[in-house]
A and B are shown apart, each in its own frame.
Chain A
Amino acid sequence: MSTTIDLDKAATAPTFTGISAGRKARNSLATVLMTLAFLVALVPLVWVIWTVVSQGIAAIVSSTWWSQSLNGLLARQEGGGAYHAIVGTLLQGLVCAIIATPIGIMVAIYLVEYGAGTRLARATTFMVDILTGVPSIVAALFVYAVWISIFGLPRSAFAVSLALVLLMLPVVVRSTEEMLRIVPDDLREASYALGVPKWKTIVKVVIPTALSGMLTGIVLALARVMGETAPVLILVAYAPYINFDIFGGNMASLPLMMTVERSNPTDAGADRLWGAAITLILIITIFQLLAAFLSKVTAPKTK
């Protein structure tokens, strides 16, 4: 083969064309628009974080914030801490998670593994969808109506947890359901073919395979409901002291502490309000990191 140009050959148009000017222009325009949209979305985010941190940082770095309640302090008196509210938020969240997680997982297992296509499964899915859209105030009023008006039981942290269960349950069902559905049927069949009964296949093969995503979904659902305000406003009274009894007495929580301190016009009130806000954001962030960590640890590995 010679490398010189064959002058006798007829000239042909090149097969490939350059990028047209029109496409270049559209590309630049789209890039600019998307960057702008990104900035517009970023501004409020940064602003919120900046406001909360700058207003609240003074409160949470004080030595007593994480270890003391506000018991015995006057509204205008500086000092004390949010320990009572942190305990309340975590307790109410924990009780809610203890109730909602097993129920949610079992409902999801029923929907995916047993109920597929049955009328009961369709009705359940429909109900879960509706529950997903129920506003927290409605869940709180429902619990108030049943727990307090009908059963005559006192307002308590447990009532709050029940309302949170109503909010957390559909999210747990939905996320668990999705995770179970993406477990390939191949694995279930492989297990059946080894002579493993169905329930054991679910417990030992399907759930471990889906576990990583299930845990993420559950922790995120919990983080979401811990910031809910309507249930704590309606179902329990604020207490400036520490209360571990979920069935009786008043109990603080971070959202409740914020609404109470909002009507405190002094500087001390403002500090507590923003301090509680940061604390709530911090707790939710920690839960989200925990979710990411759990999902990483439990994910199926290939190496």
Chain B
Amino acid sequence: MAKRLDLKDVDIYYGKFHAVDSVSLAVPPRSVTAFIGPSGCGKSTVLRTLNRMHEVIPGARVDGEILLDGENIYGPSVDPVSVRRTIGMVFQRPNPFPTMSIRDNVVAGLKLQGRKGKKELDEVAERALRGANLWNEVKDRLAKPGGGLSGGQQQRLCIARAIAVQPDVLLMDEPCSALDPISTLAIEDLISELKADYTIVIVTHNMQQAARVSDQTAFFNLRATGEPGRLVEIDDTPKMFSNPTEQATEDYISGRFG
């Protein structure tokens, strides 16, 4: 559990469009890395290449190496499906499966990967729901549909679903952007707890959130519209927010951007 990620000269394309230019960075195990930057600079794009979700889009392509504990996830003999089992993802909008109950949503990953055993799955569901701080709210209605929960509960359900398959790394793309402040805090607390077991990468537009939850922060930016996005700098979060090396970072963080 909890492995390190290394990106080496990663270039990302959508067909002919060069979306992200030569990103190199390291994500240590059991830490939270926040991606910040203006809209359209490629944060989601980079995040989605980390578990090979990028290539789901027709024409999308990645150059360079992404190493998980030294093993290239883009290696020629690597099955993207097995990469996604190891590196889980939580999306911006909560997306529970509408045809499944709360419990079945949580164990969907295991069930669809072909693992059965009702008792084992029940245990996994409880553990994951407790892990996502949702157990107490849903333990009496596990058989009810997941779509009947509130937005914040649905998002925690999606986190439970992602951790139920016990990935090594957890990617989160603006997991709180559709949530109220209380649900947001609940998820931030959860991220701090999950850090003990997982390597976490989170995209956020909320500076306070990045400052609160992350150990290191990466700032992405565009040189100009139409140009590819690039990594401006990555450093320990306290340093990034107090005394960044690059002027662009300071301008963005202090709101003097654009």
Contacts and interface: CB of A to CB of B under 8 A. Distances in A.
B239 to A, nearest CB: 32
A191 B148 contact: no
Interface stretch (A203-211, A216-224, A266-274): A203-211
A184 interface: yes
Given A184-B95, A186-B91, A195 B148 contact: no
Interface residues of B, number: 29
B76 interface: no
B58 A193 contact: no
Contacts of B108: 191, 194, 196
Which bucket holds chain A's interface residue count?
A: 20 to 34
Interface stretch (B17-25, B32-40, B78-86, B180-188): B78-86
A131 B158 CA distance: 43
Q: In terms of DSSP, what is the predominant structure of the interface of chain A?
A: helix
Contact of B145 (A191, A195, A208, A300): A300
Nearest to A210: B99
Given A196-B109, A300-B147, A190 B95 contact: yes
Contacts of A205: 97, 99, 112
Given A116-B58, A184-B95, A186-B91, A194 B145 contact: no
A196 B97 contact: no
B84 A195 contact: yes
Given A190-B91, A194-B84, A196-B81, A303 B144 contact: yes
B89 interface: yes
A194 B161 contact: yes
B147 A301 contact: yes
A303 B145 contact: yes
Given A190-B158, A208-B99, 4 more contacts: A188-B56, A194-B161, A194-B162, A303-B144
Nearest to B80: A192
A22 interface: no
B242 to A, nearest CB: 35
A187 interface: yes
Contact of B81 (A186, A197, A208, A301): A197
A209 B98 contact: yes
Q: Which of A188, A190, A191, A209 has the most CB of B within 10 A?
A: A190
B112 A186 contact: no
A301 B108 CA distance: 17
Given A116-B58, A187-B95, A208-B99, A196 B113 contact: yes
B148 A302 contact: yes
28 contacts: A117-B58, A186-B93, A187-B95, A187-B97, A188-B56, A189-B91, A190-B95, A191-B97, A191-B108, A192-B56, A193-B89, A194-B88, A194-B108, A194-B112, A194-B113, A194-B161, A194-B162, A195-B85, A196-B109, A196-B112, A196-B113, A197-B81, A204-B112, A209-B99, A211-B99, A300-B99, A301-B148, A303-B148
B51 interface: yes
B53 interface: yes
B165 interface: yes
B49 to A, nearest CB: 13
B102 to A, nearest CB: 12
Contacts of A189: 53, 56, 91, 95
A143 to B, nearest CB: 38
Contacts of B147: 300-302
B173 to A, nearest CB: 10
Contacts of A301: 145, 147-148
A200 interface: yes
Contact of A193 (B88, B93, B99): B88
A194 B109 contact: yes
A-B complex: 10 closest residue pairs judged by Cβ atoms? A195-B85, A194-B109, A300-B98, A193-B89, A186-B95, A208-B99, A196-B112, A302-B147, A195-B84, A302-B148
A269 to B, nearest CB: 52
- Greatest chain B CB density within 10 A among A187, A194, A201, A300 is at A194
A193 B98 CA distance: 17
A189 B96 CA distance: 11
Contacts of A192: 53, 56, 81, 84
Q: Which of B56, B58, B98 has the most CB of A within 10 A?
A: B98
A116 B56 CA distance: 13
Nearest to A207: B99
A196 B114 CA distance: 9
